[in-house]
Amino acid sequence: MNTLMRWIGIAVVIFIAAPLVIVVPMSFSTAASLQFPPPGYSWGYYQQFFSDPSWLRPAWNSIYIATMNTLLTMALVVPATFALVRHKFWGKSFANLMMMMPMAVPHIVMAVGYYSYFGELKLVHSKLGVILAHSCLSVPITFLVLSANLKGFDLTLERAARSLGATPGQVFRHITLPILKPGLAISALFAFIQSFDETVVAIFISGRDAETLPRKMFDSIREEADPVIAVISTLLFAVVFAGLIAPSLIKGLRRMAGGTPSK
Amino acid sequence: MSAYLRLAGVNKTFGNFTALGHIDLEVEKGEFVTFLGPSGSGKTTTLMVIAGFEKATRGEITVADQSLAHLAPQERNIGIVFQNYALFPHKTAAENVYFPLQMRKVGKKEGMKKAAEMLDLVGLKGFAHRLPKELSGGQQQRVALARALVFEPDLLLLDEPLGALDKNLREQMQIEIKRIQKRLGVTTIFVTHDQTEAMSMSDRIVVFSNGAIEQAAAPLDIYHRPATRFVADFIGESNLLEATITDAATGKAHSPVLGEVTCGAEGLPPLTDGQAVSLLIRPEHLKLSREPKEGRQNAQMVIETIVNYGDNAVVIGHAGDQQIRVRVPGADVVILKEGDSCHFSWTADAVFVLDK
């Protein structure tokens, strides 16, 4: 049983890691198009990515849109989550359902909706349009992460703080917010990644001015299978990987420095 | 001396459900009062009303003759130790204790110094920089106590604070809490459903049942002179037997199980002939013997179970369909066997009469 589980585990890891194993070598390829295994290795496509405005502009667009999307999503979802988790009110279950709706509706349906609706509002082909659309799509995942966090939050802590002399505002600032910080950070990260990853809606409404990286990659793959997209994939992977290991790395360094005494 | 904390006609309803009927209670300054009762009896609700987390439907609460009615919880200056301690997980022990001072605009330097002194008092010197998760249950408990006391509250409320600790630690903390409370002289209300805890710590015990106070008295009074059948049953082990008063003047009663019984004179309520009453005899006031004992009142029972505690044992038997519990010294138990028939005996002053 134990050995079987171990082999299944290994198989799953290989299955998940396989695309990465292929993409990373291809980004260093000398071939003119995507090819595996690569005929030779070079930094060529990295140089091309960092010098070609037709790649850099969508990259900056994506970062800008994802950042704005994160801010907007959090501004909407944080108060909504507090209301939905902590309070009872008429129409609550309907509101809950609506928060999850964007996850249930296929992106292509949403995209068509935005295209026609935003067309009238002159928001198609604008960054604002993409930000608004992406925020709507980011709501379910941020709400899920945050509400799970908030449900696990011990309300006695807030009572304790009140009994110790804190006003509700002080309780939020000194107790609730700091304790929820990791949850807030993770849900914000999800909102960012959701927007950064999103392709379907971006293809429909981003146009040339607000072109995002996934849209550019999609166009590129359709037209020429440019190995630059392997470069981008590798870079994204590196960023995410760094983001995941950074916290534990910092913790480890702090421990080595003796900042927090261990038990 | 007038009461320091006064609850006058405090009533609390949730919709149709009455959580607190009509609570009248006075607590002296510096007194250690325990609210004792089964869960759902209203003891914690009363505590929460005092703390300000629940609003009384009717009635008034005053501390030093000042009404608490219009004060929010943070304005009441009441220290609370919660059942799960409710330590702030992102703050160290010292920062937790400093928090109430911080909220009172005490500067960091002075506040942290006071926090350190308080941690000292509760026996946590050298643990100031630990996070709650790096402390044991008992240590967390001490931090919570220090935090609730550091701002010199008018009242200290403890909501079943020892529930999560193991037996030895619990006894240690009972002594510790009592010591600190005496030293600081803070008026304290302690909520528990553990009667030994209530017995060992309190100046006075308030027994709650169904949202009402059954009795408020010193621990030994509660034990020896329970006001109601509920208190007699809830506090300590008890034999409660149905009986009818046959001669009120001499305190004679007839019990179907015990036969003719003479009741102790002390604490007898006014009785009338023919009145139906309950007789309370504590298990330690009964004696077992093979033959009826001279000079004592006797009855017969069949031994059913013997529960050994080492230094003593409880013998559970049946007299008719009435269960009888007898506490005997551990050494005596060896001669007893389950299934044996024997006599149990008592004296008149061991019989306490209760309204039915």
- Binned at pLDDT 50, 70 and 90, residue A149 comes out as very high
What are the chain A neighbours of B147 within 8 Å (beta carbons)? Answer: 164
Residue A17 lies in a domain: no
Say yes or no for a CB contact (<8 Å) between A162 and B72. yes
Sketch the domain layout of chain B as residue ranges: 5-230, 237-355
Residue A43, pLDDT > 90, answer: no
> Is there a domain that residue A34 lies in?
no
Q: Please state, as a whole number, how many other Cβ atoms lie within 10 Å of the Cβ of residue A143.
A: 25
Least CB-CB distance to B73: which of A154, A163, A175?
A: A163
Q: How far is A161 from chain B (nearest CA, A)?
A: 8
pLDDT of residue B215: 94
The C-alpha R_g of chain A, in whole angstroms, comes to: 22
Question: What is the tens place of the pLDDT at every residue in A23-32?
Answer: 888 888 888 8
Phi, psi (5° rounding) for residue B337?
Answer: -130, 145
Secondary structure of B182-235 as H, E, C letters: HHHCCEEEEEECCHHHHHHHCCEEEEEECCEEEEEECHHHHHHCCCCHHHHHHC
From the list A162, A175, A179, the residue facing B73 with the nearest CB is A162
Range of the domain at A87: 59-223
Which bin fits B347, alpha (ψ -120 to 50), beta or left (φ > 0)?
Answer: beta
The predicted-structure confidence for A180-190, as pLDDT tens digits, reads as follows: 998 999 999 99
First to last CA, chain B: 36
CA distances from B350 to A68, B64, B280, B283, B333 (A): 81, 41, 8, 10, 22
What pLDDT does residue A36 have? 78
Min distance A183 CA to chain B CA atoms (Å) = 14
CATH superfamily, domain B237-355, is Nucleic acid-binding proteins (2.40.50.140)
Compute the average pLDDT of residues B156-163.
90
Rg of chain B taking only CA atoms, in angstroms:
24
Confidence of residue B149 (pLDDT cuts 50, 70, 90): very high
Binning pLDDT at 50, 70 and 90, where does residue B250 land?
A: confident
Query: Is B99 buried (19+), middle (13-18) or exposed (0-12) by CB count in 10 A?
Result: buried
In the predicted structure, residue A244 carries a pLDDT above the cut 80 = no
Alpha-carbon distance A235 to A240, whole Å? 9
Q: Mention the CATH class of domain B5-230.
A: alpha beta
Q: Tell me the C-alpha distance between A110 and A116, whole Å.
A: 10
Is B73 within 8 Å of A261 when comparing Cβ atoms?
A: no
Distance, CA of B90 to chain centre: 34
Residue for token digits 């130790």? B81
Q: What is the C-alpha to C-alpha distance for residues B32 and B202, in angstroms, rounded to an integer?
A: 5
Who has greater pLDDT, B100 or B348?
Answer: B100
Q: Which value does ipTM take for this structure?
A: 0.83
Buried b (16+ CB within 10 A) or exposed e, A230-256: bbbbbeeeeeeeeeeeeeeeeeeeeee
Q: Which of B84, B97, B99 to mutate to test the interface with A (most CBs of A within 10 A)?
A: B99
Cβ pair A165:B78 closer than 8 A: no
Nearest to B147 among A156, A159, A164 (CB): A164
Confidence check: pLDDT of A263 > 60: no
* Overall number of domains in chain A: 1
Chains A–B, number of C-beta pairs less than 8 Å apart:
67
How close B86 comes to chain A (CA, Å)?
5
Instruction: Please say whether the beta carbons of B231 and B215 come within 8 A.
Output: yes
- Cα→Cα distances A107→A104, A127, A189, B61, B339, Å: 9, 18, 20, 59, 78
Here the CATH number for the domain that contains residue A200 is 1.10.3720.10
Q: Does residue A20 form part of some domain?
A: no
> Smallest Cβ distance to B103: which of A166, A179, A262?
A166
Type of residue at B210: N
Lowest-confidence segment of A59-73, A86-100, A185-199, A238-252 by average pLDDT:
A238-252
pLDDT at A258: 60
